[in-house]
Amino acid sequence: MHKWILTWILPILLYRSYFYIIFLMGTISLACNDMTPEQMATNVNCSSPERHTRSYDYMEGGDVRVRRLFCRTQWYMRIDKRGKVKGTREANNNYSILEIRTVAVGIVAIKGVESDYFLAMNKSGRLYGKKVCNEDCNFIELIEENHYNTYASAKWTHKGKEMFITLNHKGVPMKGKKTKKEHRASHFLPLAIS
Ligand SMILES: *[C@@H]1O[C@H](CO)[C@@H](O)[C@H](O)[C@H]1NC(C)=O
Ligand SMILES: *[C@@H]1O[C@H](CO)[C@@H](O)[C@H](O)[C@H]1NC(C)=O
Ligand SMILES: *[C@@H]1O[C@H](CO)[C@@H](O)[C@H](O)[C@H]1NC(C)=O
């Protein structure tokens, strides 16, 4: 399928009725297979509530999870009230409660419930908190073989390599270009809130 078709067909899919989507289900899977993460992210408008109820919500069967992300380096991901992203050791810290929202197949936006900031990664691979969600806030969520999840920027890569959300052994996010899928710092368990 040609790329130019995707740029107009996706917005239509996102905003039209369920029937339309069922009708075009086959086309969607084709379209998504053809798309790079960048293209996926470009077509995602994560501030539009309608999109969630009208499209992928339906396909995924519910798309918001409230979790803590516990890194394999033993830190909980936390976004403080000023939007600073850093780990905490405290299991009950309010700022580590995160809303993980599916915004497209395999792509999530992660928001601190208490701080109201989204996790975002800029082009330089810097992890920061963002008040208004844009493409920097879209991450590809993958369950790895060890049952940990990884989160790679859906928008930015460095020399063709993915850049991951990490917390190093000091609980600090690493520069995206230094991250690897294999690093313990990239491995997160999404823990249900008790
Ligand atoms: C995203 O959706 C919101 C709400 O529907 C709208 O106001 C905004 O202009 C949209 N942004 C883009 C980039 O399409
Ligand atoms: C966490 O939230 C609860 C309920 O909103 C509140 O009672 C508590 O004081 C908060 N704790 C911290 C550390 O902010
Ligand atoms: C990413 O964020 C860092 C820290 O705020 C900043 O120094 C850098 O210029 C930013 N990069 C881009 C491309 O915006």
> Chunked in runs of 10, what are the mean pLDDT values of the chain (194 residues)?
47 46 44 49 50 40 84 97 96 95 93 96 96 95 92 96 98 96 96 88
Task: Give the pLDDT of residue 63.
Answer: 82
Atom of ligand 3 nearest to the CA of 123: 13
Rounded CA separation 122/38 (Å): 13
State how far Cα 131 lies from the chain centre.
15
Give the ligand whose atoms come closest to the C-alpha of residue 78.
Answer: 2
Distance 192 CA to ligand 2 centre (A): 18
pTM: 0.69
The b/e string for 115-134 (b: 16+ C-beta within 10 A; e otherwise) is bebbbbbeeebbbbbbeebb
Q: Is the CB of 47 under 6 A from ligand 1?
A: yes
Radius of gyration of the chain (CA): 17
Pocket test for ligand 3, best of 82, 123, 126 (most atoms within 8 A of CB): 126
CA of 93 to the centre of ligand 2 (A): 8
Report the atom number in ligand 3 closest to the C-alpha of 125.
Answer: 1
Q: Residue 36: what pLDDT?
A: 53
Does the C-beta of 134 come closer than 6 Å to ligand 1? Answer: no
- Of 151, 118, 121, the closest CA to residue 132 belongs to 118
Residue 133 CA to ligand 1 centre (angstroms): 10
